[in-house]
C-alpha cells in the first residue's frame, strides 16, 4: 500500500541519526523500492525553509540533497492541483493552523493515501488515515 510522507518523516528517513526506528526505516526503504512513496510538493518548500533557518543539517549541499531526496525513482512528488485544493477547502477551519500541514493532509485525503506522520495535532484530528508499520 502506498503512503504519503509528512515532511519530517521524509527528512528523517533520508538523514542519519533520525528518530525513526530500524523497522520504520526498513518499511520505507521497501516502499521506495516498490515506488509506493509519495510526497506533497509543499514538503520541498518546507525542507528549503528548514535549511535556510539552519534547522536541517545535511550531509551535502542543499541543492544536491534536494535533487537526490526527491528522485522520482524512489518517491513521487504530488503537485498541487484542484482536487487537493478542494480537499483543503473541506478541512474544518479549526484543524491545524499550519498551512503546510493543512496541504499535506489535504493531499493525503485527495489521493486517498495514508499519511506517515508523528505530528500530534494531525494524529489526534482523525482528519486523515494514518500509516502504521
Mean pLDDT value across the chain: 95
The band of 116, judged by pLDDT with boundaries at 50, 70 and 90, is very high
- For residues 24-34, average pLDDT: 97
The band of 91, judged by pLDDT with boundaries at 50, 70 and 90, is very high
- Does residue 105 carry a pLDDT above 90? yes
- For residues 92-111, average pLDDT: 93
* 52 or 16, greater pLDDT: 52
In this predicted model, what pLDDT tens digit does every residue of 58-89 receive, in sequence order?
A: 889 999 999 999 999 999 999 999 999 999 99
Fold of 3-125: Rossmann fold (3.40.50)
In this predicted model, what pLDDT tens digit does every residue of 43-59 receive, in sequence order?
A: 999 999 999 999 998 88
The band of 21, judged by pLDDT with boundaries at 50, 70 and 90, is very high
Asked whether 40 and 78 are in contact (CB, 8 A), the reply is yes
- Does residue 9 carry a pLDDT above 90? yes
Where would I find the H helices in the chain? Answer: 7-14, 22-33, 42-52, 62-69, 82-90, 99-111, 120-125
For helices 42-52 and 62-69, what crossing angle results, to 10°? 160
Structure confidence at residue 104 (pLDDT): 98
Where are the domains positioned within the chain?
Answer: 3-125
Amino acid at each position: 500500500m502506498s503512503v504519503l510522507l509528512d515532511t519530517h518523516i521524509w527528512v528523517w528517513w533520508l538523514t542519519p541519526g533520525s528518530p525513526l526506528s530500524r523497522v520504520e526505516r526498513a518499511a520505507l526503504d521497501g516502499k521506495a523500492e516498490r515506488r509506493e512513496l509519495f510526497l506533497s510538493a509543499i514538503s520541498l518548500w518546507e525542507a528549503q525553509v528548514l535549511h535556510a533557518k539552519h534547522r536541517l543539517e545535511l550531509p551535502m549541499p542543499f541543492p544536491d540533497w534536494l535533487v537526490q531526496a526527491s528522485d522520482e525513482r524512489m518517491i513521487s512528488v504530488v503537485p498541487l492541483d484542484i482536487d487537493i485544493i478542494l480537499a483543503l477547502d473541506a478541512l474544518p477551519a479549526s484543524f491545524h493552523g499550519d498551512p503546510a500541514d493543512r496541504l499535506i493532509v489535504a493531499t493525503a485525503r485527495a489521493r486517498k493515501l495514508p499519511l506517515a506522520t508523528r505530528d500530534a495535532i494531525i494524529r489526534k484530528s482523525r482528519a486523515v488515515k494514518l500509516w502504521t508499520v
